Chain A
Amino acid sequence: MTEAAIEQRQPGSAVRREWRRFTPGQRLARFAVYLGIAAAVVLSLQTIEIIPEFLYDAPEQMRDLFERMWPIDFAYYPQGVHGAMMETLHIATLGTIGSVVLALPLGLLAARNVTPVPLVNYLAKLLLVASRSVNSLVWALLFIAIFGPGALAGTLAITFRSIGFVGKLFGEACEEANRGSIEALTAAGAPWLSVLRYGYWPQVKPAFWALVLLRWDINVRESSVLGLVGAGGIGVALNTAMNLFQWERVAVVLLAIFTVVIIAEVIVTQIRKRVL
C-alpha cells in the first residue's frame, strides 16, 4: 500500500534510517491536491454572488413558507396526487427495465475480457459516458421536443440516463469475473452465447441485481422531478401547485414523494437482504 521512503545518512558509518510514509513524489501530489482544493474554494467564495438582503430575511422566509404549508391539504390526495404518483412509479420502473435491456449489450461491449477489440470498448465506453453526463432533466427536455410532453418523454429520459450507470457498472462487474469457468466452457467448445449465459451470468448476478435495484431507487427520485419540465408524473402536480401558490397542496405532494421514496428504500433493503 504505502511506499516507505528510506533515507540513509553517511554511507559507511552508522546507518541511520528515517521512515517516511509517503515518497517525495506522493507528498508533492497530495500537497498539490490540498492546494488545489483550497484555491478552488477561495476562488469560488470570492466570485459567487451573494445578495445579503436575501440572507438576512432567510429565517423569516422559511418560517413564512412552513406557515403557508400548514394545514396540509390531505383532501387533495385522491384526485390530484395518487394518479400522478402511480404514473411516476411506472415511469421509473419502465425506464429502469428499458435501460437494462439497452445497457446489457453496451456493457458487454465495454468489458475488456468479453470483447477483446479495444476500439469497440472505447466506443461503448464513450456512449456510456455521454449517457451519464447529460442530466435526466436535459434528456427529458430533448424528448419533450421530439415526442411532445407527457409520460413517454419521461420514460425515455429515465431510460437513456440510466443506460450509462447500468452499462458502466455491469461492464466492470463482467471484467472482474473469474476466468476459470469461462476458460473451461470455451475449452469445451461452448458457443459465445452459452459462455455468457453459463460462465459470466452466475458470477455477475449478485452485482447485477444490486445495481438494478439501486438504479430503480434513484430513478424513483429522478422521475419525481421530470414533471417540472412537463414530462409527466408527480412533478406536474408539484409545478401546478407551486405556480398557483397553493402551498398546502405543495406540502401534500412533497409528503407523498417522501413516503414513496421511503417505501421504495425499504423494499430495496428487504429484497437485498433476501435475494443477495
Chain B
Amino acid sequence: MSASAPARSPFATNWGARVGWLVLLVYVVYATSTLDFTWRRFVDGMEHAQVFLGRMFPPNFENWDAILKGMKESLEIAVLASFTGILLSLPIGLLAARNLMPGWVSWTARGVIALARAFHPVIVAIIFVKAIGFGAIAGVMALIVASIGFIAKLFAEAIEEISLKQVEAVRATGAGFMNVIFFGVLPQVLARFIGFSTYQFDSNVRNSTMVGIVGAGGIGAPLFVAFQRFDYDVVAAILIAIIAVVFIAEVVSTRIQRIFSA
C-alpha cells in the first residue's frame, strides 16, 4: 500500500498544547505573586508546624463522652439529611429530565437544582441557622439542600441517557404516567441512582462534621472551640474520631452498593 500523503509522525509536537502549558505556567506565577507567598513565611511556617505537631500528640481523649455525643449528632444529621434528600431528589430529578418533561417544567427544576448546588453546605447552614435557629435541624436542612443539588442533577443526566425504546414500549401497552416511569425509566437508572445516593451519604457524613462550625449541630462546634483554645491534642482526638467514622461510613456505603448492584 503506497502512501499518497507524507506519513504523519505519531508523536508530532502539538503546538496548541504547548502554548496551553505556557499560559498555565504564566498564570501560576502571576497568581502566586498576588497571593503574598514569601519564602520567609514558608520557613517560619515550618517552625510553627513542628511546635504544632508536638502539641497535637498524644491525642487527648479525656472528654471522650462529649466527642461521642458530638459524633452521634453528626451521624444523625447525616442519616436524616441523606434519607430525606434521596427521597426528594427522585421527583425533582425526574422533573428535570429534558427527554421526559415539557420544556418549562424541566428548566424550572434545573434552576432549582442549580440554586441548590451553587452554595457550599456551610453557607446554606448559615442561612438556615439564621432562619430556623441553632441546632441540628439547621444542619439537616442544609445537607438536604446539598443532597438534592447533587443527586437530582446526576439523576436527571442519567435519565437523559436512557434508551427511549423501552419507554415507548411500556407506553404502547397503555400504561399510565407513573407506570411508564416505574417500568420504563427506573429500571434503567436505578443502579446509577443507588451509586449516587451512597456517594452523597458519604459526602453528608463528611459535611455534617463541619456544619457545626457555624452552629448547625454536630462535632464541628467542639472542634472549632478546641482550635480557638489552642487545645491541639483535643483537636487531634476529634480528628481521629472523624476519620474513623468517615472510613466506616465509606465501608458501609460500598457494601450497600454491592448488595444492590447484583
Footprint of B on A, CB under 8 Å?
1-3, 22, 26, 29-30, 33, 37, 40-41, 43-45, 47-51, 53-55, 58, 61-62, 65, 86-87, 90-91, 93-94, 97, 129-130, 133-135, 137-138, 141-142, 145-148, 150-152, 155, 198, 221-222, 224-225, 228-229, 232, 238, 242, 254, 257-258, 261-262, 265
Contacts and interface: CB of A to CB of B under 8 A. Distances in A.
A49 B73 CA distance: 9
A33 B259 contact: yes
A198 B11 contact: yes
B257 to A, nearest CB: 10
A22 B262 contact: yes
B72 to A, nearest CB: 7
Given A133-B247, A134-B239, A228-B122, A151 B36 contact: yes
Interface in B231-251: 232, 239, 242-243, 246-247, 250
B152 interface: no
A49 to B, nearest CB: 6
B76 A257 contact: no
B89 to A, nearest CB: 16
Contacts of B45: 146-148
Interface residues of B, number: 65
B242 A228 contact: no
Given A51-B137, A54-B134, A94-B35, 20 more contacts: A1-B262, A2-B262, A45-B80, A49-B73, A49-B135, A50-B137, A54-B137, A58-B131, A61-B131, A90-B34, A97-B24, A135-B210, A147-B45, A152-B36, A152-B37, A221-B120, A225-B123, A257-B119, A261-B119, A262-B118
Interface stretch (B25-33, B90-98, B173-181): B25-33
B243 A238 contact: no
B143 interface: no
Given A55-B132, A146-B49, A222 B120 contact: yes
Contacts of A242: 126
B214 A228 contact: yes
Nearest to A218: B120
The A interface is mostly helix, strand or loop, or mixed, namely: helix
B260 interface: yes
B48 A51 contact: no
22 contacts: A22-B262, A26-B262, A33-B259, A40-B79, A40-B83, A48-B76, A48-B77, A55-B132, A58-B133, A94-B31, A133-B243, A133-B247, A137-B213, A138-B210, A142-B52, A145-B232, A146-B52, A147-B44, A151-B35, A225-B120, A228-B122, A257-B119
A122 B58 CA distance: 25
A71 B68 CA distance: 44
A258 B133 CA distance: 24
The B interface is mostly helix, strand or loop, or mixed, namely: helix
A169 B209 CA distance: 24
Interface string B1-39: 000000000010000000000001001100110111100
B169 interface: no
Contacts of B28: 94, 97
The 4 closest A-B pairs by CB, nearest first: A54-B133, A44-B76, A147-B45, A90-B31
A151 to B, nearest CB: 4
Contacts of B127: 65
A149 B207 CA distance: 22
B114 interface: yes
Interface in B133-188: 133-137, 140
Nearest to A238: B123
Given A65-B131, A133-B206, A228-B122, A138 B239 contact: yes
A17 B240 CA distance: 54
B35 A254 contact: no
A145 B52 contact: yes
A48 B137 CA distance: 8
Nearest to B258: A29
A238 B134 CA distance: 19
B48 A147 contact: yes
B153 to A, nearest CB: 10
Contacts of A257: 118-119, 123
B130 interface: yes
A3 B123 contact: no
Contacts of B27: 93
B256 interface: yes
B239 A94 contact: no
Contact of A48 (B73, B131, B224, B260): B73
Given A26-B262, A148-B41, A44 B80 contact: yes
A147 B41 contact: yes
Of the listed residues B36, B37, B120, B224, the one surrounded by the most CB atoms of chain A closer than 10 A to its CB is: B120
Nearest to A68: B130
